[in-house]
Amino acid sequence: MFRRYFIALAVVALVAIAGLGVRMMWRSSAPPVAATSVKHFSLIDQAGRSVDDATYRGRWMLVFFGFTRCPDVCPTSMIYASDLLKSLGPLAETLNVAFVTVDPERDTPEVLKEYLENFDPRIIGLTGSAEQIAAVTKTFGVYYAKRKIEGQDDYAMDHSTAFYLVGPEGGFRRAYNLQRGADQMTADIRAAISPRD
């Protein structure tokens, strides 16, 4: 049921992106990112375990920043990430995909776990304190801001919507977004993480 719900939202989001655009910050024509090291960060995964940048060294990492109450871009992006992992076949064993929340106030490990159960089970959910999230978003150059929902006692999060590819040694490789097209993005990532002769 949840899967159908998210697929329906994804279709709406993709139509909006193709036509009128979305309120979230889509970064167009994201350029290659300089191969600098990811600075130290410490977060908590959806199982409640403490992790840091060293936890994922030795494998490629594709990182997306969002929040679980996001109505369109985040579920669309996680559906893409799920499809990417499936399409990579055995090559997916060399890649970690992480969803890092920009809404740690509401996105606890338990909430992330429930949310990510709607997608590929290999996707990692990461949260932490407000200070930890501020530190990791600064490391990746990610924009996010709380926005009050008009007429409601609630808020949403505006945020960057790029995927960030990090090499096994911890260096930034490239930023991507789905505006380029899912097929092209998948081809680029496959080429980047494929073993060199």
pLDDT of the residue at 155: 96
Average pLDDT over residues 61-69: 97
Q: Which residues neighbour 141 within 8 Å (Cβ) at sequence distance 6 or greater? A: 160
Inter-residue contact 186 to 85 (CB < 8 Å): no
Computed over every residue of the chain, the mean pLDDT equals: 84
**Spans of all domains in the chain:** 2-193
Read off the pLDDT of residues 161-174 as tens digits, 9 standing for 90 and up: 999 999 999 999 99
Cα–Cα distance between 95 and 62 in angstroms, integer? 7
Read off the pLDDT of residues 74-128 as tens digits, 9 standing for 90 and up: 999 999 999 999 999 999 999 999 999 999 999 999 999 999 999 999 999 999 9
Structure tokens at 110: 């338990």
Tell me which CATH homologous superfamily contains domain 2-193.
Glutaredoxin (3.40.30.10)
Structure tokens at 174: 């490239």
Helical residues (DSSP H) of the chain, grouped into ranges: 2-18, 73-88, 109-116, 130-140, 182-193
pLDDT of the residue at 16: 38
Read off the pLDDT of residues 20-49 as tens digits, 9 standing for 90 and up: 333 333 333 334 444 455 668 899 999 999
Candidates 83, 106, 168, 102; CA nearest to 140 is 102
Percent pLDDT > 70 in the chain is 80
